[in-house]
Structure 1
Amino acid sequence: MSTNGKADTTILVVDDVAASRYALGAVLRRDGHRVILAASAQEALAELDALHRAGALPDVALVDVGLPDMSGFELCRRLKEAPRTAALPVVHFSAARVAPADRCLGLDAGGEAYLTVPAEPAEIQAVVRAAARGARHRSDAEAEAGHLTRLAETILDVQSARCPRELADAAAAGTDRLTKSPAAAFILADDGAMHRGLSRRRAATSLPDDGAHEAVARLILRVMSGHVGVRSTVAPAPLWPPGFFPAEPVGGTGPPDGARLALARSREGSAPVCLATPTYARHPPETSRLVGRLAHATALAAERLLMYEMERHIALTLQRSFLPTHVPQVPGTEVVVRYEPASSDTEIGGDFYAALPTSGGVLTAIGDVVGHSLDAATVMVEIRHALRAYCVEESDPRKLAHCLDNMLQRYHPDVTATLCLALVDPATGRTRVANAGHIPPLVVSDTGTATYLPACGPLLGLGLDRPAPTETVLSPTDRLLMVTDGLIETRGTDLAVSMQHLRTVAADAPLGVADLCDTLLACFGHDRDDDIALLALRLTGSR
């Protein structure tokens, strides 16, 4: 549409009087409008139906009040009630019904204006222009609201991403949604890693190779060097590697693989983000602005997620340094440990295990400090070191649990922990177990049975009396299994049910302590909200 608002504007004139109909048409054509004529309400409805199917509804309907088959008021009401024509501006006109009450009826029916005819051509033209201009402004406002709604939905998807790869996929899909064209999103991490997402609109062809990604990375760094905020540019085909977008549709005139880029960086030193669409997919300036806003939102989300990834890496490194992957082997026994961090927790937890030689045999321990934080991990380390110190002089598991309970009450009065201690004599298999609120040990036989030892007691840190240790004798065909609740605990499921499931799976597991642990991790250890620690011991028959 031209800047004066008249060219390409279509007016529907509905009038049963032929002379008046053609006179109005001539006045409107002189003002630059395209005119469609209808002699009745039914003819007008049929014309509008055909125009709607063709995707070319008129800009204004000029409707006579006194039509023979239906009043102009009723025709207006029908148009306003139908979703496809509800936004069509209606201007009523009449030579007979000119009273204020008639004008009110026209406005109440949904009309935008009311003309009394005969009228000066300039007045008719001005009223029609005003109606078309108002409709155009409403249409633009509705389109803008639609764009903003799509942007808000897309930003919500971006902010919901749980990792950089999900973020890149969400940003590419959102760019596709805003531009209605193929799109690619790139997030360049500090370590040089490229996270890429492609929209579904992309053709199912082979993906670009590493060289193409390196070229994009160099381009992003060059464009964003020394800049923060949002930048827009066009990368012509010689600079933009092929393969990220499908070929241009037949009949197009744009470069085959050039790209229109919206780049953003939240602050100096943070990860730059690039949202790309093919240059042949043209879209208006307001769409480009929306893509720029999406790029900025993606950059903010990328900074948060990449910091999350870095903190998680540091936390896991620290946690693994606290818990060695191997424990000292005591003659006459074989001990295997496993540790898996929670799948979605940046903080380090308080799970721990130990296997220590003592004067009374090998002491195995597994426990969990309540909470997920650096404080919990710190207390966990203190418990492990305190246990190592205490067992130099004392091997009785009940007395060791009592000493650790006193230590927590004195130095960490607000902390509690679960702990299970088992003292195994490699020569005789005699085993004594002290349990402090933990899942009891499971004795798994090579004959296909598994039994929990009846060992229980209060948590560490409460200062309560400790019951006498539970005793049993392990045979060379038995494996002593100790786990933390992160392996089996599931929200909404009773722990007793989960323990029974563990017992069944352990009984059917392959022979050997390593195979037992690996089988349990394969069965239970996926997408857990808590850390997992396992310790399995068996007698080897030699000292």
Structure 2
Amino acid sequence: MDGNSRRNGTTTALVVDDVAADRLAVSALLRGAGHEVVPVATAADALRELGVRLREGTLPDVLLVDVRLPDMNGFELCRRLKAHQVLATLPVVHLSAAGAARDDRRRSLDSGAEACLTVPADPEEIHSVVRAAVRAARLRAEDQALIRRLTLLSETIVTVQAARSLDELVDAAAEGTARLTGLPAVVFVLGPEGELYRGMSPKRIDLALPGRGAHDAVAQLIARLGAGRAVVHRTVVHAPLWPAGFFRPGVEDDARLVLAQGGKAPVCLATPVRDSRPQSPADEAGVARLAQATALAAEPLLMYEVERHVALTLQRSFLPQPDKLPDLPGVDIAVRYEPASQQAEIGGDFYAALRTDDGVLAAVGDVVGHSLDAATVMVEIRHALRAYCVEDSDPAVLAERLDRMLQRYHPEVTATVCLMLVEPDTGRVRIANAGHIPPLVVRGSGGADYAKAHGPLLGLGLAVNRPTPTELFLEPSDRLLVVTDGLIETRGTDLAISMERLRVAVADAPPGVRPLCDMLLDRFGRDREDDVAMLALQLRPGQVRP
């Protein structure tokens, strides 16, 4: 309906009648009651007028249509309007001559009209019918708008709650705010250490963004406005207190803010103030509910970010960095560790390379699970391995001791590990594998094959079923590679297929252990859903005695 007529309290009526005298009479009657009138003579004229007004956004509030039009009767015109997605909301009042009133009333209601008046009619009756039709149509429109708003709000809240990261969260909230208000929107979440996460409505993404100083100013503003406030707080920040450029490049806009506090992290939903017309109560309530839902959803994600940071710090502090490995006699070793993508959880992947009395002990493993607990158990396994191998470096003995350690101190935890004892002087390798992907032997002469080394996971107490270590010999040009499943495992793909892809890839890898690791990370390790750890070793030239 015509938004202008709503605001000034008048209604606009489109009168459709081919008889000029009747059209003028009805128009004069409606104007006398304060209505704006648009008179046309035919159904075709009415459709053209409605098409123009639909494009301009100035649709009438009601149609008064003679049922006996020359080009299309009023019933067919009404049916066409009611079949249109937008025009169906317009109320139609039919005008019928007295002689055919009964049949016309039935046909009118069947076509979808709101009422059928017999003319000539008492002026007050015409006024009453028009007012009732317009009032009913407006109530229906308001109900439909409320349903659309609530549906949009619920869909947005579901999307916000399903976000796997703070970046996804703020983008979803910004898009929902823009759809609820019809304005560009920016959403901010302020972390406990002052870090600022920002999301923008889609139409704003490609535009120039304000610099670091503007973001710092917004972070300080949100912290100050949110301090000591209620759960939801509304305010307007006038330019230039609100930095320019967030809504339009280089333009200063007043900002309407809705701040919510779900815990320690304030959330701010911001839209520009473009005119003096305030938001409707329904719009305000919808944005406030969205702000509350965003704040509640942000809290566990922020806690996860903290835990992820702690777990990642723990892993990196206990895993020797590739450039800080100890010098191990007779072998060249390369290691790599890549945490999962930002949306995934940190796991318990690890590697170790240790000097023993019997040679070099290398290990790659993975504590089952993704949490700070998994990272903590990983550290315990590495420390236990270092302690145990001082007394006995036999891989089978070490696997059994690690198994017992987990059963006693972490009975709910399982882990995989591949333990390899390398004798540099002879090239002899003894392997004990506990549920891990077997090591790949990359032959210098060409090709690659998995070692036939298998066994049950650690932590299950199945030492009695653990096979004897696998034994093989490396040539000076051979390389031994062990990876965690995070490098190759893909949801929906059988692990055996992924293992075969890895085997084919390493067969064509460039020489050396470091280039081998770099090639694998480049080919398989991007945007993984799990952590990746790998270790590659090679005997130093001239090391193996004939």
TM-score tier after normalising by the smaller chain length = 0.7 to 0.9
Q: Could you tell me which amino acid in structure 1 is paired with residue 290 of structure 2?
A: L
Report the 3-state secondary structure (helix = DSSP H, G, I; strand = E; otherwise coil) of the residue aligned with 2:362. Answer: strand
Q: CA deviation at 1:411?
A: 6.3
Partner of 2:306: 310
CA contact (8 A) 1:260 1:276 kept: yes
Equivalent residue number for residue 440 of structure 2: 442
The 1:66–1:187 alpha-carbon spacing in structure 2 relative to 1, beyond 3 Å, is same
Please name the residue that 1:295 is paired with.
291
Structure 2 equivalent of residue 177 of structure 1: 179
**What letter is aligned with 2:176?**
G
Task: Indicate the larger mover: 270-279 or 121-130.
Answer: 270-279
Contact 1:228–1:264 under 8 Å retained in 2: no
1:342 aligns with one of 336, 340, 343: 340
In 2, are the aligned partners of 1:73 and 1:105 still within 8 Å (CA)?
yes
C-alpha distance in structure 1 between counterparts of 2:334 and 2:444, whole Å:
17
Residue 71 of structure 1: how far off its partner (Å): 4.2
User: Deviation per CA, 1:46-79, whole angstroms, max 9, x where unpaired?
Assistant: 5444544554332212233444555433433333
Query: Which segment drifts farther, 137-146 or 200-209?
Result: 200-209
Instruction: Please state if 1:60 is matched with 2:58.
Output: no
Aligned partner of residue 145 in structure 2, secondary structure: helix
Q: Tell me the SS of whatever aligns to 1:509.
A: coil
1:346: how far off? 6.3
CA separation of 1:129 and 1:411: change in aligned 2, threshold 3 A: closer
Residue number in structure 1 paired with 2:523:
523
Question: 1:33–1:257: structure 2 CA closer, same or farther, 3 Å change rule?
Answer: same
- In structure 2, the partner of 1:221 is 223
Select the residue among 447, 450, 453 that pairs with 1:452.
450
Which residue is 2:391 aligned to? Answer: 393
Normalised by the length of structure 1, the TM-score is 0.86
Q: Identity of paired residues, percent?
A: 59
Determine the structure 2 residue equivalent to 1:77. Answer: 79
Cα distance in 2 between the residues matched to 1:93 and 1:410:
90
Aligned partner letter, 1:312: R
* DSSP-derived class of the 2:242 partner: coil
- Deviation digits for residues 354-386 of structure 1, max 9, x if unmatched? 333333222222233444455655554554444
1:387-422 Cα distance to aligned partner (Å, 9 max, x none):
444433333323433444455566666654433222
Which SS does the other structure have where 1:86 is aligned? Answer: helix
Q: Is the contact between residue 207 and residue 244 of structure 1 (CA under 8 Å) also seen in structure 2?
A: yes
* 2:315 partner amino acid: Q
**Who is 1:252 aligned against?**
none
* RMSD over aligned Cα atoms: 3.4
Distance in 1, Cα, partners of 2:106 & 2:407: 84
Secondary structure of the structure 2 residue equivalent to 1:419: strand
Partner of 1:253: none
| Cα distance, 1:484 vs structure 2 | 1.8
- The aligned counterpart of 2:26 is 24
Aligned-pair CA distance for 1:310: 1.0
Distance 1:483 1:5 in 2: 69
Equivalents in 2 of 1:387, 1:247: separation in Å? 58
> Does the 8 Å CA contact 1:5/1:133 hold for their aligned counterparts?
no
TM-score by length of 2: 0.85
1:273-422 equivalence runs, <5 A: 273-279=268-274, 284-285=279-280, 286-325=282-321, 328-343=326-341, 348-373=346-371, 376-377=374-375, 380-405=378-403, 416-422=414-420
- Conserved 8 A contact 2:232-2:260: yes
The CA distance in 1 between the partners of 2:237 and 2:399, in whole Å, is 68
Match of 1:270 in 2: 265
2:267/2:291 contact within 8 Å kept: no
Structure 2: 5+ residue runs without aligned partners? none
Distance 2:207 2:87 in 1: 42
Which ranges of structure 1 fall in alignment gaps of 5 or more residues? 249-255
Report the Cα distance in structure 2 between the residues aligned to 1:449 and 1:281, rounded to whole angstroms: 74
1:18 to partner: Cα distance: 3.6
Q: Which amino acid aligns with 1:170?
A: A
Q: What residue in structure 2 maps to residue 194 of structure 1?
A: 196
SS in 2 for 1:218: helix
Range 180-189 or range 381-390, more displaced: 381-390
1:75 counterpart letter in structure 2: L
SS at match of 1:272: strand
Once the two structures are TM-superposed, the CA of residue 324 in structure 1 deviates from its matched residue by 4.0
Partner SS for 1:482: strand
> Alpha-carbon deviation of 1:347?
5.2
Q: Which of the residues 89, 94, 105 maps onto 1:103?
A: 105
Relative distance call for 1:308 and 1:429 in structure 2 (3 A) is: same
CA distance in 2, matches of 1:346, 1:52: 48
- Name the residue aligned to 2:252: 257
| Contact map agreement 1:171 1:275 (CA 8 A) in 2 | no
SS of alignment partner, residue 294 of structure 1: helix
Tell me what 1:496 maps to. 496
The answer to whether the 8 A contact 2:486-2:528 is kept is yes
The one-letter amino acid of 1:273's match is C
Asked if structure 1 preserves the Cα contact closer than 8 Å seen for 2:68 and 2:74, the reply is: yes
Of 227, 233, 236, the residue aligned with 2:235 is 233
Aligned residue pairs, count:
536
CA drift of 1:126 comes to 1.6
CA positional deviation for 1:32: 0.7
Query: Please, which moves more after superposition, 87-96 or 394-403?
Result: 394-403
User: 2:124 is matched with which residue: 96, 109, 122?
Assistant: 122
Structure 1 contact 367–418 (Cα < 8 Å) conserved: yes
- The answer to whether the 8 Å contact 1:273/1:298 transfers is no
Q: Does the CA-based 8 Å contact 1:429-1:473 persist in structure 2?
A: yes
Aligned twin of 1:251 = none
Question: What is the distance in 2 between the residues matched to 1:89 and 1:343?
Answer: 56
CA offset digits 1:168-222 (Å, max 9, x no partner): 3333333333333333332222211222233444496643222222222232223
Paired with 1:474 and 1:2, the residues of 2 have a C-alpha distance of 86
**Given that residues 181 and 281 in structure 1 are in contact (C-alpha distance below 8 angstroms), is that contact kept between their aligned partners in structure 2?**
no
- Residues of 2 paired with 1:487 and 1:78: CA distance? 61
Q: Would you say the 8 A contact 1:6–1:129 is kept in 2? A: no
Alpha-carbon separation, structure 2, partners of 1:297 and 1:391: 53
Deviates more, 1:7-16 or 1:419-428: 7-16
* Aligned mates of 1:6, 1:261 — CA distance in 2: 26
- 1:487–1:532: 8 Å Cα contact kept in structure 2? yes
For the residue of structure 2 that corresponds to 1:63, the secondary structure is: strand
Deviation at 1:456, TM superposition (A): 3.0
- Deviation at 1:99? 5.8
Structure 1 residue 97 displacement after superposition: 4.0
Q: Which residue of 2 aligns with 1:508?
A: 508
Whether 1:486 and 2:483 are equivalent positions in the alignment is no
